[in-house]
Amino acid sequence: MQPTSPRLGPLPLLIFGSRWLQLPLYLGLIVAQCVYVFLFGKELWHLIHEAPKMSEQEIMLIVLGLIDVVMISNLLIMVIVGGYETFVSRLRLENHPDQPEWLSHVNASVLKVKLAMAIIGISSIHLLKTFIAAGSLQGLPFCSADMLTTIAENAGSGAALKCATLTPEGVMWQTIIHMVFIVSAIGIAWTDRLMQSHTANAKDAH
């Protein structure tokens, strides 16, 4: 015998039903996923077509860019599937052969930690691309503010002044931001572990 759902009053029904306002947001993320699929195909075609003319470092940078697109796409899937399952409605994928392993025990806390780890992975790829680009400057100096201004002023005069678009400050701040992401993820995971431990202790006490 199926349990009957409790009848809700008009106001609780309206508030509870407002969760469906998130549906267009998740559909919009699916559109963004399609854009990333197009971007991946475009970069892959560029890699295949231009590979004979490229150096090993140039190929590595494009491959890292492809990995970056895949990781952002994975992040989108976690937000779309996990967010919809957690905040909107059940997908009812129990016993489905293609059900993601993490979806069976997903909740707001688990989703938050997984998103933090995905962001760290994306940040790591960006940082690695920066380090590889910094290692392939071929003797070019880092651009200072004065050099950038000079290059901009002489852009139409055929000036031969060149420098790397990377700056030491930019690399330093990118590294600091990456470390902040790592510390934040550790803090989120530690907080969630404390909350779960307090919840388990409270249940044991009862």
Instruction: List the domain boundaries for the chain.
Output: 21-92+100-136
Residue 90 confidence (pLDDT) above 80: yes
- Name the range with the highest mean pLDDT among 57-66, 90-99, 169-178: 57-66
The 10s digit of each residue's pLDDT in 96-127 is: 777 777 666 666 777 777 788 888 888 888 88
The answer to which of 66-80, 124-138, 158-172 has the lowest mean pLDDT is: 158-172
* Residue-level pLDDT at 161: 43
> Given pLDDT bands bounded at 50, 70 and 90, which one contains residue 54?
confident
> Given pLDDT bands bounded at 50, 70 and 90, which one contains residue 155?
low
* Residue-level pLDDT at 156: 54
* Residue-level pLDDT at 58: 80
Contacts of 126-133 spanning 24+ positions with Cβ under 8 A: 126/68, 126/174, 126/178, 127/174, 127/175, 127/178, 128/64, 129/61, 129/64, 129/65, 129/68, 130/166, 130/170, 130/171, 130/174, 131/171, 132/57, 132/60, 132/61, 132/64, 133/61, 133/164, 133/166
Distance of CA 1 to the CA centre of its chain: 44
* Residue-level pLDDT at 99: 74
Going by C-beta distance under 8 Å and a sequence separation of 6 or more, which residues neighbour residue 193?
none
% the chain with pLDDT above 90: 14
> Given pLDDT bands bounded at 50, 70 and 90, which one contains residue 139?
very low
